[in-house]
Amino acid sequence: MRIAILPDDATIGKVAADLIEELYREKPNAVLGLATGSSPLSIYRELIERHQAGKLSFKEGKAFMLDEYVGIAADHPERYRNVIHTEIASHVDFPEGCVNGPDGNAEDLHAACAAYDQSIKDAGGVDLQILGIGSDGHIAFNEPGESLTCRTHVGVLTEQTRRDNARFFDGDIDQVPTHCVTQGLGTIMDARRLVLVAQGKGKARAIKELVEGAVSAKWPATIMQMHQDAWVLVDEEAASELE
Ligand code: F6R
Protein backbone atom coordinates (compact mmCIF):
# COMPACT_ATOMS: atom_id res chain seq x y z
CA MET A 1 0.00 0.00 0.00
CA ARG A 2 1.11 3.55 -0.60
CA ILE A 3 0.20 5.89 2.22
CA ALA A 4 0.16 9.68 1.79
CA ILE A 5 -0.46 12.03 4.71
CA LEU A 6 -1.74 15.23 3.12
CA PRO A 7 -2.37 18.67 4.64
CA ASP A 8 -6.13 18.91 4.09
CA ASP A 9 -9.23 17.51 2.45
CA ALA A 10 -8.87 19.71 -0.63
CA THR A 11 -5.40 18.25 -1.28
CA ILE A 12 -6.76 14.71 -0.80
CA GLY A 13 -9.40 15.52 -3.45
CA LYS A 14 -6.76 16.86 -5.85
CA VAL A 15 -4.38 13.90 -5.48
CA ALA A 16 -7.19 11.37 -5.96
CA ALA A 17 -8.54 13.35 -8.94
CA ASP A 18 -5.03 13.37 -10.48
CA LEU A 19 -5.06 9.55 -10.40
CA ILE A 20 -8.51 9.48 -12.00
CA GLU A 21 -7.58 12.06 -14.64
CA GLU A 22 -4.45 10.06 -15.50
CA LEU A 23 -6.59 6.91 -15.84
CA TYR A 24 -9.09 8.54 -18.23
CA ARG A 25 -6.27 10.07 -20.28
CA GLU A 26 -4.76 6.63 -20.80
CA LYS A 27 -8.05 4.75 -21.06
CA PRO A 28 -11.03 6.94 -22.07
CA ASN A 29 -13.48 4.04 -21.57
CA ALA A 30 -12.27 3.27 -18.03
CA VAL A 31 -14.59 1.92 -15.36
CA LEU A 32 -14.68 4.00 -12.18
CA GLY A 33 -15.86 2.67 -8.80
CA LEU A 34 -17.82 5.27 -6.84
CA ALA A 35 -18.25 5.52 -3.06
CA THR A 36 -20.89 7.48 -1.18
CA GLY A 37 -20.62 9.31 2.17
CA SER A 38 -18.66 12.46 2.99
CA SER A 39 -15.12 11.21 2.37
CA PRO A 40 -15.15 11.30 -1.47
CA LEU A 41 -16.91 14.67 -1.79
CA SER A 42 -13.67 16.64 -2.27
CA ILE A 43 -12.75 14.21 -5.08
CA TYR A 44 -16.12 14.71 -6.76
CA ARG A 45 -15.82 18.52 -6.50
CA GLU A 46 -12.40 18.32 -8.13
CA LEU A 47 -13.60 15.97 -10.91
CA ILE A 48 -16.55 18.28 -11.68
CA GLU A 49 -14.24 21.31 -11.84
CA ARG A 50 -11.84 19.53 -14.21
CA HIS A 51 -14.74 18.32 -16.35
CA GLN A 52 -16.18 21.83 -16.55
CA ALA A 53 -12.74 23.19 -17.46
CA GLY A 54 -12.67 20.73 -20.39
CA LYS A 55 -9.77 18.72 -18.94
CA LEU A 56 -11.61 15.50 -18.15
CA SER A 57 -14.40 13.60 -19.85
CA PHE A 58 -16.26 10.43 -18.91
CA LYS A 59 -18.17 10.26 -22.20
CA GLU A 60 -16.86 6.78 -22.97
CA GLY A 61 -16.71 5.74 -19.32
CA LYS A 62 -18.80 3.64 -16.97
CA ALA A 63 -19.21 3.68 -13.21
CA PHE A 64 -20.28 1.21 -10.54
CA MET A 65 -21.35 2.19 -7.07
CA LEU A 66 -20.22 0.24 -4.01
CA ASP A 67 -23.43 -0.14 -2.08
CA GLU A 68 -27.03 0.83 -1.41
CA TYR A 69 -29.49 0.79 1.46
CA VAL A 70 -32.21 -1.86 1.36
CA GLY A 71 -35.79 -0.68 1.32
CA ILE A 72 -35.16 3.06 1.08
CA ALA A 73 -37.76 5.04 -0.90
CA ALA A 74 -36.80 5.56 -4.56
CA ASP A 75 -36.98 9.35 -4.18
CA HIS A 76 -35.25 9.55 -0.78
CA PRO A 77 -32.34 12.02 -1.04
CA GLU A 78 -30.14 9.62 0.96
CA ARG A 79 -30.71 6.70 -1.37
CA TYR A 80 -27.15 6.20 -2.61
CA ARG A 81 -28.18 6.20 -6.25
CA ASN A 82 -29.69 9.67 -5.69
CA VAL A 83 -26.67 10.88 -3.70
CA ILE A 84 -24.32 9.85 -6.52
CA HIS A 85 -26.57 11.58 -9.05
CA THR A 86 -26.53 14.79 -6.99
CA GLU A 87 -22.86 14.80 -6.04
CA ILE A 88 -21.22 13.73 -9.29
CA ALA A 89 -23.18 11.98 -12.05
CA SER A 90 -25.48 14.89 -12.93
CA HIS A 91 -22.48 17.25 -13.29
CA VAL A 92 -20.31 15.19 -15.63
CA ASP A 93 -20.80 13.37 -18.92
CA PHE A 94 -21.12 9.66 -18.21
CA PRO A 95 -23.39 8.29 -20.96
CA GLU A 96 -27.03 7.76 -20.01
CA GLY A 97 -27.45 4.49 -18.08
CA CYS A 98 -23.71 4.01 -17.48
CA VAL A 99 -23.66 4.82 -13.77
CA ASN A 100 -24.74 1.59 -12.11
CA GLY A 101 -25.63 0.76 -8.54
CA PRO A 102 -26.83 -2.32 -6.68
CA ASP A 103 -30.61 -2.47 -6.40
CA GLY A 104 -31.67 -2.31 -2.76
CA ASN A 105 -35.34 -2.56 -3.70
CA ALA A 106 -35.19 -5.67 -5.90
CA GLU A 107 -37.79 -8.33 -5.21
CA ASP A 108 -35.08 -10.97 -5.19
CA LEU A 109 -32.12 -9.24 -3.56
CA HIS A 110 -29.81 -12.24 -3.82
CA ALA A 111 -30.41 -12.59 -7.55
CA ALA A 112 -29.87 -8.83 -7.95
CA CYS A 113 -26.52 -9.10 -6.12
CA ALA A 114 -25.33 -11.89 -8.43
CA ALA A 115 -26.49 -9.91 -11.48
CA TYR A 116 -24.58 -6.86 -10.21
CA ASP A 117 -21.32 -8.82 -9.92
CA GLN A 118 -21.89 -10.15 -13.42
CA SER A 119 -22.47 -6.64 -14.81
CA ILE A 120 -19.14 -5.48 -13.33
CA LYS A 121 -17.42 -8.46 -14.97
CA ASP A 122 -19.18 -7.80 -18.29
CA ALA A 123 -17.90 -4.21 -18.19
CA GLY A 124 -14.34 -5.54 -17.92
CA GLY A 125 -13.96 -4.93 -14.18
CA VAL A 126 -13.35 -1.74 -12.21
CA ASP A 127 -10.15 0.13 -13.13
CA LEU A 128 -10.06 2.45 -10.11
CA GLN A 129 -12.21 2.07 -7.02
CA ILE A 130 -12.72 5.07 -4.73
CA LEU A 131 -13.22 4.03 -1.09
CA GLY A 132 -14.02 5.65 2.23
CA ILE A 133 -13.63 3.83 5.53
CA GLY A 134 -16.04 3.51 8.45
CA SER A 135 -14.90 4.27 11.99
CA ASP A 136 -15.22 0.50 12.62
CA GLY A 137 -12.97 -0.27 9.64
CA HIS A 138 -15.68 -1.20 7.14
CA ILE A 139 -15.21 -0.56 3.43
CA ALA A 140 -18.32 -0.37 1.32
CA PHE A 141 -20.72 -1.90 3.88
CA ASN A 142 -18.54 -4.89 4.76
CA GLU A 143 -18.83 -4.74 8.50
CA PRO A 144 -16.41 -6.39 10.99
CA GLY A 145 -16.68 -10.17 10.95
CA GLU A 146 -17.73 -10.53 7.32
CA SER A 147 -15.93 -12.80 4.88
CA LEU A 148 -12.77 -11.31 3.39
CA THR A 149 -13.56 -12.85 0.01
CA CYS A 150 -17.31 -12.46 -0.49
CA ARG A 151 -19.03 -11.02 -3.54
CA THR A 152 -21.92 -8.55 -3.66
CA HIS A 153 -24.39 -9.55 -0.94
CA VAL A 154 -27.08 -8.40 1.45
CA GLY A 155 -25.60 -7.10 4.71
CA VAL A 156 -26.71 -5.90 8.12
CA LEU A 157 -25.47 -2.49 9.24
CA THR A 158 -23.89 -2.36 12.69
CA GLU A 159 -25.29 -0.01 15.25
CA GLN A 160 -22.02 1.98 15.05
CA THR A 161 -22.47 2.54 11.30
CA ARG A 162 -26.13 3.46 11.73
CA ARG A 163 -25.13 5.91 14.46
CA ASP A 164 -22.40 7.38 12.22
CA ASN A 165 -24.85 7.74 9.32
CA ALA A 166 -27.70 9.21 11.40
CA ARG A 167 -26.26 12.62 10.54
CA PHE A 168 -27.67 12.16 7.04
CA PHE A 169 -31.14 11.26 8.47
CA ASP A 170 -32.00 14.28 10.67
CA GLY A 171 -29.74 12.84 13.39
CA ASP A 172 -32.28 10.05 13.96
CA ILE A 173 -30.78 6.54 14.01
CA ASP A 174 -34.27 5.02 13.68
CA GLN A 175 -34.54 6.47 10.18
CA VAL A 176 -31.28 4.81 9.07
CA PRO A 177 -32.01 1.56 7.21
CA THR A 178 -30.87 -1.62 8.96
CA HIS A 179 -29.81 -3.54 5.83
CA CYS A 180 -27.80 -2.88 2.71
CA VAL A 181 -26.61 -4.46 -0.48
CA THR A 182 -22.89 -4.10 -0.84
CA GLN A 183 -20.04 -5.19 -3.03
CA GLY A 184 -18.13 -7.80 -1.08
CA LEU A 185 -14.46 -7.53 -0.20
CA GLY A 186 -13.73 -10.05 -2.96
CA THR A 187 -15.51 -7.84 -5.51
CA ILE A 188 -13.64 -4.75 -4.30
CA MET A 189 -10.27 -6.52 -4.34
CA ASP A 190 -10.79 -7.34 -8.04
CA ALA A 191 -10.55 -3.63 -8.91
CA ARG A 192 -7.23 -2.90 -10.58
CA ARG A 193 -6.47 0.09 -8.31
CA LEU A 194 -7.93 1.04 -4.92
CA VAL A 195 -7.86 4.63 -3.64
CA LEU A 196 -9.07 5.01 -0.07
CA VAL A 197 -9.50 8.47 1.43
CA ALA A 198 -10.07 9.37 5.09
CA GLN A 199 -10.29 12.65 6.94
CA GLY A 200 -10.61 13.57 10.62
CA LYS A 201 -9.92 12.11 14.04
CA GLY A 202 -12.95 9.81 13.91
CA LYS A 203 -11.08 7.68 11.35
CA ALA A 204 -7.72 7.57 13.19
CA ARG A 205 -8.17 4.15 14.82
CA ALA A 206 -9.45 2.55 11.62
CA ILE A 207 -6.50 4.00 9.68
CA LYS A 208 -4.06 2.72 12.29
CA GLU A 209 -5.53 -0.79 11.95
CA LEU A 210 -5.57 -0.55 8.15
CA VAL A 211 -1.91 0.45 7.95
CA GLU A 212 -0.34 -1.23 10.97
CA GLY A 213 -2.74 -3.98 12.01
CA ALA A 214 -2.86 -7.62 10.96
CA VAL A 215 -5.16 -8.60 8.09
CA SER A 216 -8.34 -9.58 9.88
CA ALA A 217 -12.10 -9.65 9.41
CA LYS A 218 -12.22 -7.61 12.65
CA TRP A 219 -11.02 -4.62 10.60
CA PRO A 220 -12.30 -5.39 7.07
CA ALA A 221 -10.26 -2.66 5.33
CA THR A 222 -7.04 -4.50 6.29
CA ILE A 223 -7.65 -6.80 3.31
CA MET A 224 -6.32 -3.88 1.23
CA GLN A 225 -2.83 -4.82 2.45
CA MET A 226 -3.11 -7.79 0.08
CA HIS A 227 -3.85 -5.59 -2.97
CA GLN A 228 -1.01 -4.90 -5.36
CA ASP A 229 -2.04 -1.31 -6.16
CA ALA A 230 -3.73 0.29 -3.16
CA TRP A 231 -3.44 3.95 -2.19
CA VAL A 232 -4.42 5.44 1.17
CA LEU A 233 -4.77 9.23 1.22
CA VAL A 234 -5.36 10.71 4.67
CA ASP A 235 -5.17 14.03 6.47
CA GLU A 236 -3.07 14.55 9.60
CA GLU A 237 -5.96 13.88 11.98
CA ALA A 238 -6.81 10.57 10.35
CA ALA A 239 -3.09 9.71 10.48
CA SER A 240 -2.71 10.81 14.11
CA GLU A 241 -2.59 7.30 15.62
CA LEU A 242 0.03 5.99 13.18
CA GLU A 243 3.34 5.13 14.82
C1 F6R B 1 -20.32 4.37 1.17
C2 F6R B 1 -19.41 3.42 1.75
C3 F6R B 1 -18.96 3.49 3.16
C4 F6R B 1 -18.37 4.85 3.51
C5 F6R B 1 -17.95 4.87 4.98
C6 F6R B 1 -17.41 6.21 5.39
O7 F6R B 1 -20.56 4.06 -0.18
O8 F6R B 1 -19.03 2.55 1.05
O9 F6R B 1 -17.99 2.50 3.39
O10 F6R B 1 -17.26 5.09 2.69
O11 F6R B 1 -19.06 4.57 5.77
O12 F6R B 1 -18.42 7.17 5.30
P13 F6R B 1 -18.11 8.71 5.36
O14 F6R B 1 -17.29 9.02 4.17
O15 F6R B 1 -19.44 9.39 5.31
O16 F6R B 1 -17.36 8.94 6.63
**Ligand 1 centroid – CA 133 distance (Å):** 6
**Ligand 1 centroid – CA 141 distance (Å):** 8
What does 56-99 look like in DSSP terms, one character per residue?
---TT-EEEESEEESS--TT-TTSHHHHHHHHTGGGS-PPTT-E
67 catalytic? Reply is yes
Q: Is 102 in the pocket of ligand 1 (CB under 6 A)?
A: no
Q: What is residue 59's predicted lDDT score, i.e. its pLDDT?
A: 98
Q: What is residue 162's predicted lDDT score, i.e. its pLDDT?
A: 96
127 catalytic? Reply is no
Q: What is residue 72's predicted lDDT score, i.e. its pLDDT?
A: 96
Q: Is 35 in the pocket of ligand 1 (CB under 6 A)?
A: yes
Domains of the chain: 2-235 (3.40.50.1360)
CB 67 within 8 A of CB 178: no
Mean pLDDT over residues 59-63, rounded?
98
pLDDT > 90 fraction of the chain, expressed in percent and rounded = 100
Q: What is residue 195's predicted lDDT score, i.e. its pLDDT?
A: 99
- Three-state DSSP state, 167: helix
222: left (phi over 0), alpha (psi -120 to 50) or beta: alpha
- 30-57 pLDDT, tens digit per residue, is 999 999 999 999 999 999 999 999 999 9
DSSP state of 136: T
Which residue type occupies 63? Answer: A
**Ligand 1 centroid – CA 40 distance (Å):** 8
Q: What is residue 5's predicted lDDT score, i.e. its pLDDT?
A: 98
* CA distances for 160 relative to 131, 136, 143, 225, angstroms: 18, 7, 10, 24
- 8-37 pLDDT, tens digit per residue, is 999 999 999 999 999 999 999 999 999 999
CB 196 within 8 A of CB 11: no
How far is Cα 201 from Cα 26, in angstroms, rounded to an integer? 36
- 101-116 pLDDT, tens digit per residue, is 999 999 999 999 999 9
Q: Find the angle CA(222)-CA(21)-CA(3) to the nearest 5 degrees.
A: 30
- 173-226 pLDDT, tens digit per residue, is 999 999 999 999 999 999 999 999 999 999 999 999 999 999 999 999 999 999
